[in-house]
Amino acid sequence: MTRIVRKTTFGIIAFAALTALAVTPFAIAQNKAHEPLAALPPMPIPKDNPMTEANIALGKHLFFDARLSGDASISCADCHDPKLGWGDGSDLSRGYPGTMHWRNSQTVVNSGYLTKGWFWTSSAATLEAQAHSAIAGALAGNLKKALAEERMKQVPEYVRLFKEVWNAAPNYDQALASIAAYERTIISDDSPFDRYMRGEKSALSEAAVRGMALFEGKAGCAACHSGPLLTDQKFYNIGLPTNPAFTETIQRQIAFRERMRSSGFEEKDYLHLDRDPGRYRKTKKIEDIGKFRTPPLRYIKYTAPYMHNGVFFDLREVVEFYNKGGESEPFGNKSEKIKPLGLTEAEITDLIAFLDSLSGKELVVERPKSPPYGLLKFPMKGQW
């Protein structure tokens, strides 16, 4: 991957609420207690979405089927490619044809463990809702529900599987459920860290053990990256630099400002934004400006680039960013947890060794061949 030269330019945010924040930092209460690190437990399964073999098979086909997009050219797997860490391998997501997104495409590995929302700002409440947003979103799949159903009804294998799994004709909401069922099988729980936490003390190198002590101690990572999933699922502004791939790409700027406009921003405000306002777009709460959810750290070896805007391309960049205490930023509400750490080069190396231990074997699957269309035979009375 070609490395881009980053030049960070902090613009002036025009609208009054943001200007006020720039001079009056919003204080985020420190919470020193955190959920202890642990190996992954079994995947939680909703009672209304059974993990049957047929349901998972249906969901897998739909996950890889480009016909679940408006122009039938992009599938879930195009933004969540097994060969690219189940993301898309780019700093910023590709978006629907004719558009370009301004956020990084997160991995779906272990996504079924999340409990407080999906996407970078937890804008979807369930894994099933996340699938809907990805398929129907204007910058993602851009597919209408009715068109999705009519396409699936013209695929004999989908007619058969829906009948077996749901005892119904192909249905959009049940398609989302099946996709989510498949995603709940995409689990990485065999990492050296998992084995160590289950009692195999030789699973971690000496450097990784020292790194884990730093992670929970001097580096302070566990204050946010806690629990079995290594995320508290809370929201923070960490003072990230902007990504030139966002600020200097016309298609991303068009998509970004259209989304801000459709979210209720006035023209005088959204035209002056030089970066993503984060959770504020959804909540319209001043204290949420520039905040994003703490990402899980599992499978991190395979999921570069990192951060919501893909601005860092390797783990050393990430650790060095935190070590210097982040950067100043115009929203003025950078988390008080982000401060210089004073890590030495040897400590940085040990911390990276621990981060590397959070990934197990690469989860690569071959794309299944999408079942072909087959014209329905008429009359269809009693078929369902």
- Give the Cα separation of 269 and 157 in Å (integer): 50
Q: Are 374 and 151 in contact (CB under 8 A)?
A: no
| Peptide bond just before 82 cis, omega within 30 deg | no
Strand partners, 187: none
Which residue ranges make up each domain of the chain?
16-20+31-38+189-356, 53-183
CA end-to-end span of the chain, whole Å? 50
What is the predicted pLDDT for the residue at 364?
Answer: 92
CB atoms within 10 A of CB 374: 12
Class of domain 16-20+31-38+189-356: mainly alpha
Q: What is the DSSP string of 235-284?
A: EE---PPP-HHHHT-HHHHHHHHHHHHHTT--HHHHTT--S--BTHHHH-
Amino acid at the residue 321:
F
Q: Write out the two tokens for 230.
A: 């290594």
Q: What is the DSSP letter of 29?
A: P
Q: Write out the two tokens for 135.
A: 């398929």
What is the predicted pLDDT for the residue at 345?
Answer: 98
- Give the Cα separation of 338 and 175 in Å (integer): 41
Strand partners, 118: 124
Q: What is the dotted CATH code of the domain comprising 53-183?
A: 1.10.760.10
* 16-20+31-38+189-356 matches 53-183 in fold: yes
Three-class SS state of 375: coil
Three-class SS state of 292: strand
Amino acid at the residue 281:
R
| Tokens 């937890």, residue located | 122
Q: Are 14 and 272 in contact (CB under 8 A)?
A: yes
Report the candidate in 232, 198, 233, 196 with the shortest Cα–Cα distance to residue 212. Answer: 196
C-alpha dihedral sign at 265, 270, 276, 280: negative
- Give the Cα separation of 203 and 359 in Å (integer): 12
| Each residue's pLDDT expressed in tens, for the chain with a length of 384 residues | 333 333 333 233 333 343 333 333 222 233 457 899 999 999 999 999 999 999 999 999 999 999 999 999 999 999 999 999 999 999 999 999 999 999 999 999 999 999 999 999 999 999 999 999 999 999 999 999 999 999 999 999 999 999 999 999 999 999 999 999 999 999 999 999 999 999 999 999 999 999 999 999 999 999 999 999 999 999 999 999 999 999 999 999 999 999 999 999 999 888 989 899 999 999 999 999 999 999 999 999 999 999 999 999 999 999 999 999 999 888 889 999 999 999 999 999 999 999 999 999 999 999 999 999 998 776 666 555
Q: Write out the two tokens for 87.
A: 């993301």
User: Going by C-beta distance under 8 Å and a sequence separation of 6 or more, which residues neighbour residue 21?
Assistant: 286, 289, 331, 332, 333
What is the predicted pLDDT for the residue at 11?
Answer: 33
Q: With 0.75 as the threshold, say if the pTM is over it.
A: yes
C-alpha dihedral sign at 244, 247, 253, 258: positive
| Tokens 């298609």, residue located | 251
What is the predicted pLDDT for the residue at 330?
Answer: 83
Q: Are 46 and 55 in contact (CB under 8 A)?
A: no
